[in-house]
C-alpha cells in the first residue's frame, strides 16, 4: 500500500534556529499519526510546510506517491490537505457560515452552505448553528467550526494542531469519536500534541521531534507515557513533590464577586466565592474564556469592586488598586507574558522594578530609582529561577516564552508574597521548565503562603493543587479536595460537554443533574 | 434674522451637491477601514484629487477626464501610504497625518498656475419627466451625473460587502488578518487594493469640490472635508447606507449654516462648523454605551499592522 503522505529530509531554517532538520516520516491511508514534541520542537513549522504556509529550504514531500510542494494553502487544500489550527483561524464578527465559506475554495451560495453545515455537523456529532456569530461561541464550538470547515472539503489528510488544549474531557471524547469515524472512512489524520495519554489512546503511529530533529518513530500503544515523555524531553522528568504541611488561617476570602463591566465577547463573573488558607494551593480549572482573565484581574486589583467582595487576612481590599494590594502582600502574575506581565521592550531590570518597587524597596526619597538594588533583584531572579539570558539588561521581548515566564513568576515569588495568584503559569513552557515552576509554587505554599493557580492544564492542576474548583461561564464550582478526583468528575465540574448533541441522551441528563447539584 | 429669506427648495437641492464630496471620500475610507487600515490622509488625497481634476479638466476642457484624472491621482498618492504602511510597516496614524500634510503642500505647488481660473462647465442632468415634478424634481433630479454616481458607488459597496465573496474576504482581512493569512488570503494585496479604492474615491470627492461645488481652484479648498469624511465613517458605524444618511445630514448642516448666515443669524459661524463633529461624538457616546465594540461594528484589526510571521 502506498503511503498517503511521505516526507523526506525536510529542512527549514530561520535566522539563528533550525526549525526542522532533515525530518522524514510517512502516513498511511486511514492512519492517525501523532507528531509529538515539546513547544519549539518544530511541529508547527513542519505542518505549516505541509499546508503550504511555509516553504521548506530543502527536502521533498509526496502525496499519493506524487511530488507535492504546495506554494500556498489553496493548493494544499485542493490536493486534499485540510488543517485545524491551534489558535483558531476564525473571524469573531462573522457568522459560522461565513467563516466556513472563507476556508473553502469554491463555496456554494450561503443558503446551501448553511444546509450543508447543518448536515455534516450533525452527521459527525458536532452540531452547529450556521447563523450564529463565532464571537458568541465557546472554545469547543469554535473548534467544531474549524473541523466542519475542513470536513466540507472532503479531505484526505486532516492536520490537527493541539486540538484538545481548549476542550473539557467530555468534549475531548466527542472529538475522538469524530476522529475515529473519519479514520474508519479512510481519512488520515496528522495529530499534533504533547499530551501523551491522548496520543496513546488515539494514534496508530507516532513521530517524535526534539529540537527540529526526528528522534524516534514508534507505535505509541506499545510504549508507556513515561517512555514517550523521555523521548520527547530527552531526559527523565522530575515530578514535583511537596512536604505535606499544615494549612493555616484564611488568607484570601472572596464572596459575591460579580463583574459589572466586561469586554465584548468577555465573560461576566457570577457571584464567585471561595477561601484560600495559608500553606494551601487552590487550583482553578476551566476551558479558556470562562472567566479566568476576569477573575485574575479582580484578584490583582486591575478591576476594582466593592470592598467586601475580596478580603485579604480579613481586611476588605476589593476596592484597592494593584499597588495597594501588592503592598499588603497580594501578588499576581497574569497569563499573557508580553504586554501584561512584562513590558516587552523594557529590560528585565526595569520589569523587575515595575512590579517589585514597593516590596523590594527599589525606589527612595521622592520616587528616584535605586538602579543598583534593582539590578541585583533582577540578577537574583535570574539565578534563582535559572532564567537563560545574557544578562538583566536585555529586553523582555528577547527572552523565549519559557524563560520569560520563569522570570515573571520568579519576580513575584521573590517578593515573599503572602498570597500569589497565577494564571496559566506554564503555558507554552517546555516540560522541564514547567516542572521547575510547579515545584517553586509548591515550595512557596510549603513556606506558608497561599497560592491560587488558574490553569487550563488539568494534569498540572492535579499535580499542584490541594483543592480544586472549576470556572464555567463565569460561575465557580464549590472547591473539592483535589486528591482522588477523577477526570470524569472534573469534566463535569468544567461544565461537561458544552451544548453538545449528547445533550439529549440519558447520560447528558445525568450530567446536567450532577452539574446542578454542584450549584445549589 | 429672517427665515423667510431662505429658499427651502433651493436649500434642499443644494444639500445633495454639498454632501457629495464627503460622501465620496467617506465611502472610500469605509472600504479602507473595513479592510483593517486606518488612513487619516483623506484630506490630503481629496485636495490632490481637487487640483489634479481641476488642472486636467482645464487643459482638456473635459470634466469627465478631470474626474478620471482625480481618481487616478488620489489612488496614486494613496499608494504612497500603502507602500509605507503595508510593506515598511510604518505607523498608520502618523503616516496618514503625513499624507494629509504632504497632499496639502503638493496641491498648493501644483495649483500655482490655476488660481483664479474659472472651471469648465459640468452639465446638469434633467431626468425626463421626474425632474418636472414640483418640489421633488428640483431637489432630487436636476443634478450632475457625479451625484448619482456617488449614490451608485454606495449601493455598489454595500452589495459587494454584503453579497459577494470578495466583500467577505475584505471583511475577514479587517476582522482577523492572521487568520486570513493562515487561510491563504493575500492580506497585504487586499489591503493595497482597498487603499487604492479609498484614494480614488477621495480624489473624486476632491474633484467634485473644485469642478462642481465651487468651481475653481483655491489653496486648501477642502477645508477639513476629509476630516468630516473620517468622522462620518465612524458615525455610520462602518455601514454604507448610513454613510449616505450621515453625509446628507452633515451636508445639510453645512448648507443650513450658510443660509442661516445669509439670513443674519446671530450665532458665531464657528459653532455651526463644530456641529458635524459634535454630532459624531454624540453618536459615538450613544452607540458605545452599554453594548460595546460589537455594537460599534468597528473592524477588529483597524489600524494594526500586519506582518506575516510564519
Chain centroid to CA B144: how far?
18
**A290 grid coordinates:** 470562562
Considering the domain architecture, whether residues A386 and A444 belong to the same structural domain is answered as no
- Please, which pLDDT band fits residue A508 given cuts at 50, 70 and 90? very low
The answer to whether the CB atoms of A94 and B300 lie below 8 A apart is: no
What does the alpha-carbon distance between residue B203 and residue B209 come to, in Å, rounded to a whole number?
10
Model confidence at B121, pLDDT cuts 50, 70, 90, reads confident
- Quick one: pLDDT band at residue A490, thresholds 50, 70, 90? confident
Give the CATH number, domain containing residue B280.
Answer: 1.10.3470
Residues A345, A454, single domain; the answer is: no
β-pair partners for B88: none
Taking residue A17's Cβ as centre, other Cβ atoms within 10 Å add up to: 12
In a domain, B301, yes or no: no
Same domain, A248 and A166: no
> Do A409 and A448 fall into the same domain?
no
User: In a mutagenesis test of the B interface, which of A93, A94, A145, A260 is the best target, namely the one with the most B β-carbons within 10 Å?
Assistant: A93
Task: Judge whether A256 and A318 are in contact, CB under 8 Å.
Answer: no
Q: DSSP letters along B9-33, please?
A: HHHHHHHHHHHHHHHHHHHHHHHHH
Which residue in A has a C-alpha nearest to residue B186's C-alpha? A72
Interface test with A, best of B163, B183, B289, B304 (most A CBs within 10 A): B183
Q: How far is CA A178 from CA A50, A125, A147, A189, in A?
A: 23, 7, 10, 11
Question: How many of the other CB atoms lie within 10 Å of CB of B161?
Answer: 19
Mean per-residue pLDDT for A303-307?
A: 88
Are A86 and A196 in the same domain? yes
pLDDT band at A142 (very low <50, low <70, confident <90, very high): confident
For chain A, positions 52-71, list CB contacts with chain B under 8 A.
52-54
Q: Is A74 on the interface with B (CB under 8 A)?
A: yes
Q: Does residue B65 lie in a domain region? A: yes
Judged by phi (left if over 0) then psi (alpha if -120 to 50, else beta), residue B222 lies in: alpha
- Residue B201 counted as domain residue: yes
Position A328 scores a pLDDT of 92
Question: Does A265 sit within 8 Å of B179, measured CB to CB?
Answer: no
Which grid cell is B67? 474626474
Whole-angstrom distance, CA of residue A286 vs CA of residue A78: 37
Closest residue in chain A to residue B291, using alpha carbons only: A264
Tell which of A401, A416, A431 closes a domain.
A416
For the residues A122-133, what does the mean pLDDT come to?
A: 85
What chain A residue is nearest to B175 in terms of C-alpha separation?
A91
Nearest to A90 among B179, B294, B299 (CB): B179
Residues A280 and A186 in one domain: no
Which pLDDT score, from 0 to 100, does residue A500 have?
A: 47
> What long-range pairs does A170-177 form, CB within 8 A, spacing at least 24?
A170/A491, A170/A492, A170/A496, A170/A497, A170/A500, A170/A511, A171/A140, A171/A497, A171/A498, A171/A500, A172/A198, A173/A497, A174/A125, A174/A126, A174/A497, A174/A500, A174/A502, A175/A143, A175/A147, A176/A201, A176/A202, A177/A125
CB neighbours (10 Å) of residue A360? 20
Residue A108 pLDDT > 90, yes or no?
A: no
User: For B18-67, what is each residue's pLDDT tens digit?
Assistant: 999 999 999 999 999 999 999 999 999 999 999 999 999 999 999 999 99
What distance, in Å, lies between the first and last C-alpha atoms of chain A?
58
Is residue A375 within 8 angstroms of chain B, CB to CB? no
Contact B231, B276 (CB under 8 A): yes
From A391's Cα to the closest Cα of chain B, the distance in A is 27
**In this structure, what DSSP letter does residue A478 have?**
P
| pLDDT tens track for B13-23 | 888 889 999 99
A160 three-state secondary structure? strand
φ/ψ bin of A391: left (φ > 0), alpha (ψ from -120 to 50), beta (otherwise): left
For chain A, what percent of residues have pLDDT higher than 90?
A: 25
- CB spacing of B176 vs A89 below 8 angstroms: yes
A20 to chain B: which residues are within 8 Å by CB?
A: none
- The closest CB to that of B172, out of A87, A94, A107, belongs to A94
On whether any CB of chain B is under 8 Å from the CB of A371, the answer is no
Which domain-ending residue is among A192, A208, A233? A233
The x, y and z cell numbers of residue B156, run together, are 455598489
Using a CB–CB cut-off of 8 Å, the residues of B that contact A are 165, 168-169, 171-172, 175-176, 178-180, 182-185, 292-294, 297, 299-300, 310
Which residues from chain A sit within 8 angstroms of residue B299, using beta carbons? 93
Query: Residue B296: its chain A contacts at CB < 8 A?
Result: none
Given an 8 Å threshold on Cβ–Cβ distance, is B184 in contact with A93? no
The Cα of A93 is separated from the nearest Cα of chain B by a number of Å equal to 7
Residue with cell 461561541: A137
How many domains, in total, are found in chain A?
A: 3
A51 close to A76: Cβ distance less than 8 angstroms: yes
Q: What is the pLDDT of residue B310?
A: 45
Task: Tell me how close the Cα of A165 comes to any Cα of chain B, in angstroms.
Answer: 19
Backbone angles phi, psi at A252, to 5 degrees: -120, 130
Model pLDDT for residues A202-245, shown as the tens digit of each residue: 899 999 988 888 888 888 888 887 788 788 877 666 666 666 66
Predicted pLDDT at A408: 92
Distance of CA A216 to the CA centre of its chain: 26
CATH number at residue A304: 3.40.50.300
- Angle (nearest 5°) at CA A300 between A294 and A305: 70
How many domains does chain B contain in total?
A: 1
Pair A274, A363 in one domain: no
Chain A from 408 to 437: CB within 8 A of any B CB: none
Cβ distance A265 to B294 less than 8 Å, yes or no, reads: yes
Of A52, A102, A263, Cβ closest to residue B168: A102
Mean pLDDT of chain A: 84
Q: Considering A382, A416, A450, which residue would you say is the last residue of a domain?
A: A416
How far is the alpha carbon of B99 from chain A, nearest alpha carbon, in Å? 29
SS (HEC) of A22-46: EEEEEECCCCEEEEECCCCCCHHHH
Mutate to test the interface with A, among B182, B188, B291, B293 (most CBs of A within 10 A): B182
Residue of B nearest to A101 (CA): B165
Letter string b/e over residues A434-466, b meaning 16 or more CB atoms within 10 A of that residue's CB: bbbbbbbbbebbeebbbbbbbbbbbebbbbbbb
Q: Is A325 in the B-facing interface, judged by CB distances under 8 Å? A: no
Mean pLDDT (chain B) is 88
Q: Give the pLDDT of residue A159.
A: 92
Shortest CB distance from B293 goes to which of A89, A107, A264?
A264
d(CA A329, CA A420): 8
- Asked if A160 and A225 sit in the same domain, the reply is yes
Q: What Cα–Cα distance (Å) separates residue A18 from each residue in A7, A50, A233, A387, B10?
A: 17, 17, 18, 22, 73
The position carrying cell 452527521 is A123
A395 and A255 within one domain:
no
The nearest CA of chain A is from the CA of B95 a distance in Å of: 23
Q: Which carries the bigger pLDDT value, residue B131 or residue A39?
A: B131
A56: closest chain B residue by CA? B310
Does B305 fall in a domain? no
CA distance B274 to chain A (A): 31
- Per-residue cell: A519: 450549584
CB–CB contact A264 B169 (8 Å): no
Say whether both A387 and A308 belong to one domain. Answer: no
pLDDT at A381: 93
Residue B38 grid coordinates: 486606518
The verdict on A503 and A411 lying in the same domain is no
- Residue B310: inside a domain: no
3-state helix, strand, coil in chain B (%, to 5): 75, 0, 25
Mean pLDDT over B111-138 rounds to 83
Is residue A503 less than 8 Å (CB to CB) from chain B? no
Residue A306 and residue A246 share a domain = yes
Say whether residue A94 is in contact with chain B using an 8 A CB cutoff.
yes
Least Cα separation, residue B189 to chain A (angstroms): 15
pLDDT digits (tens, 9 = 90+) for A414-425: 999 999 999 988
Q: Which residue of B has its CA nearest to A75?
A: B184
Domain that holds residue B39: 3-296
Q: Tell me, what's the pLDDT at B1?
A: 57
Domain, as residue range, for A349: 337-416
Inter-chain contacts counted by CB atoms under 8 A, chains A and B: 61
pLDDT grade, residue A506 (50/70/90)? very low
Q: Note whether A92 contacts B310, CB cutoff 8 Å.
A: no
Residue A212: left if φ>0, alpha if ψ -120 to 50, beta else—which one?
A: left
Closest chain B CA to residue A266: B292
Q: Which of A51, A89, A113 to mutate to test the interface with B (most CBs of B within 10 A)?
A: A89
Pick from B171, B182, B292: which is nearest to A85 by CB?
A: B182
Phi, psi of A206 (to 5 degrees): -145, 140
- Mean pLDDT to the nearest integer, A386-395: 86
Amino acid at each position: 500500500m502506498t503511503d498517503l503522505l511521505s516526507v523526506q529530509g525536510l529542512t527549514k531554517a530561520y535566522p539563528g534556529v533550525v526549525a526542522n532538520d532533515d525530518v522524514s516520516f510517512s502516513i498511511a491511508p486511514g492512519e492517525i499519526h501523532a507528531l509529538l514534541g515539546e513547544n519549539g520542537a518544530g511541529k508547527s513549522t513542519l505542518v505549516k510546510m505541509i499546508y503550504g504556509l511555509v516553504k521548506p529550504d530543502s527536502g521533498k514531500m509526496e502525496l499519493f506517491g506524487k511530488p507535492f510542494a504546495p506554494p500556498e494553502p489553496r493548493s494544499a487544500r485542493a490536493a486534499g490537505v485540510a488543517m485545524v489550527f491551534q489558535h483558531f483561524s476564525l473571524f469573531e464578527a462573522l457568522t459560522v457560515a461565513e467563516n466556513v465559506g472563507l476556508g473553502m475554495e469554491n463555496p456554494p451560495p450561503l443558503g446551501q452552505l448553511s444546509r450543508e453545515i447543518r448536515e455534516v455537523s450533525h452527521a459527525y456529532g458536532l452540531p452547529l448553528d450556521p447563523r450564529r456569530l463565532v464571537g458568541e461561541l465557546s472554545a469547543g464550538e469554535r473548534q467544531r467550526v474549524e473541523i466542519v470547515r475542513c470536513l466540507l472539503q472532503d479531505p484526505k489528510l486532516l492536520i490537527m494542531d493541539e486540538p484538545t488544549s481548549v476542550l473539557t474531557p467530555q468534549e475531548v471524547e466527542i472529538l475522538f469519536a469524530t476522529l475515529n469515524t473519519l479514520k474508519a472512512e479512510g481519512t488520515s489524520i496528522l495529530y499534533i500534541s504533547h499530551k501523551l495519554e491522548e496520543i496513546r489512546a488515539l494514534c496508530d503511529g507516532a513521530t517524535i521531534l526534539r529540537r527540529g530533529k526526528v528522534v524516534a518513530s514508534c507505535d505509541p500503544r506499545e510504549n508507556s507515557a513515561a517512555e514517550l515523555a523521555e523521548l520527547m524531553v530527552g531526559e527523565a522528568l522530575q515530578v514535583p513533590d511537596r512536604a505535606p504541611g499544615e494549612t493555616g488561617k484564611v488568607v484570601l476570602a472572596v464572596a459575591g464577586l460579580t463583574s459589572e463591566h466586561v469586554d465584548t465577547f468577555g465573560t461576566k463573573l457570577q457571584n464567585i466565592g471561595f477561601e484560600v488558607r495559608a500553606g494551601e494551593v487552590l487550583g482553578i480549572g476551566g476551558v479558556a474564556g470562562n472567566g479566568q482573565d476576569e477573575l485574575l484581574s479582580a484578584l490583582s486589583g486591575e478591576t476594582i469592586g466593592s470592598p467586601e467582595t475580596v478580603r485579604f487576612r480579613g481586611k476588605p481590599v476589593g476596592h484597592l488598586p494593584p499597588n495597594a494590594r501588592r503592598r499588603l502582600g497580594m501578588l499576581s502574575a497574569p497569563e499573557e507574558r508580553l504586554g501584561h506581565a512584562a513590558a516587552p521592550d523594557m529590560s528585565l531590570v526595569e520589569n523587575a522594578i515595575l512590579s517589585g518597587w514597593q516590596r523590594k524597596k527599589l525606589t527612595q526619597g521622592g520616587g528616584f530609582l535605586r538602579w543598583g538594588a534593582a539590578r541585583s533583584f533582577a540578577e537574583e531572579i535570574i539565578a534563582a529561577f535559572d532564567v537563560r539570558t545574557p544578562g538583566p539588561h536585555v529586553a523582555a521581548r528577547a527572552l523565549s516564552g519559557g524563560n520569560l515566564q520563569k522570570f515573571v513568576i520568579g519576580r513575584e515569588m521573590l517578593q515573599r508574597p503572602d498570597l500569589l495568584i497565577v494564571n496559566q503559569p506554564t503555558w507554552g513552557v517546555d516540560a522541564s521548565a514547567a516542572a521547575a515552576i510547579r515545584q517553586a509554587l509548591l515550595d512557596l505554599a510549603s513556606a506558608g503562603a497561599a497560592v491560587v493557580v488558574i490553569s487550563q492544564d488539568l494534569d498540572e492542576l492535579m499535580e499542584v493543587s490541594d483543592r480544586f474548583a472549576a470556572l464555567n461561564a463565569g460561575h465557580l464550582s464549590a472547591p473539592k479536595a483535589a486528591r482522588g478526583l477523577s477526570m470524569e468528575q472534573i469534566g463535569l465540574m468544567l461544565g461537561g460537554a458544552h451544548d453538545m448533541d449528547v445533550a439529549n441522551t440519558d447520560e447528558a441528563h445525568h450530567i446536567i443533574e450532577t452539574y446542578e447539584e454542584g450549584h445549589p | 434674522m429672517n427665515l423667510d429669506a431662505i429658499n427651502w427648495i433651493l436649500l434642499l437641492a443644494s444639500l445633495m451637491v454639498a454632501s457629495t464630496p464627503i460622501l465620496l471620500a467617506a465611502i472610500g475610507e469605509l472600504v479602507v477601514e473595513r479592510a483593517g487600515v486606518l488612513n487619516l490622509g483623506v484630506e490630503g488625497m481629496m485636495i490632490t484629487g481637487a487640483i489634479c481634476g481641476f488642472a486636467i479638466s482645464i487643459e482638456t476642457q473635459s470634466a469627465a477626464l478631470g474626474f478620471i484624472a482625480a481618481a487616478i491621482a488620489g489612488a496614486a498618492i494613496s499608494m504612497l501610504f500603502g507602500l509605507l504602511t503595508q510593506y515598511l510597516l510604518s505607523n498608520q496614524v502618523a503616516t496618514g497625518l503625513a499624507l494629509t500634510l504632504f497632499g496639502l503642500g503638493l496641491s498648493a505647488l501644483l495649483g500655482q498656475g490655476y488660481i483664479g481660473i474659472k472651471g469648465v462647465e459640468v452639465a446638469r442632468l434633467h431626468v425626463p419627466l421626474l425632474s418636472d415634478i414640483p418640489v421633488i424634481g428640483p431637489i432630487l433630479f436636476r443634478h450632475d451625473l457625479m451625484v448619482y454616481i456617488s449614490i451608485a458607488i454606495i449601493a455598489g459597496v454595500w452589495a459587494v460587502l454584503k453579497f459577494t465573496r470578495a466583500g467577505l474576504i475584505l471583511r475577514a482581512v479587517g476582522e482577523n488578518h492572521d487568520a486570513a493569512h493562515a487561510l491563504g488570503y493575500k492580506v497585504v494585496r487586499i489591503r493595497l487594493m482597498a487603499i487604492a479604492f479609498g484614494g480614488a474615491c477621495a480624489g473624486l470627492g476632491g474633484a467634485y469640490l473644485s469642478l462642481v461645488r465651487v468651481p475653481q481652484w483655491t489653496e486648501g479648498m477642502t477645508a477639513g472635508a476629509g476630516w468630516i469624511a473620517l468622522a462620518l465613517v465612524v458615525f455610520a458605524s462602518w455601514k454604507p447606507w448610513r454613510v449616505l444618511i450621515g453625509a446628507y445630514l452633515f451636508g445639510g448642516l453645512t448648507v443650513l449654516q450658510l443660509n442661516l448666515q445669509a439670513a443674519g443669524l446671530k450665532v458665531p459661524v464657528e459653532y455651526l462648523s463644530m456641529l458635524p463633529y459634535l454630532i459624531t461624538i454624540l453618536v459615538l457616546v450613544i452607540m458605545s454605551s452599554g453594548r460595546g465594540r460589537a455594537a460599534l461594528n468597528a473592524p477588529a484589526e483597524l489600524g494594526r499592522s500586519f506582518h506575516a510571521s510564519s
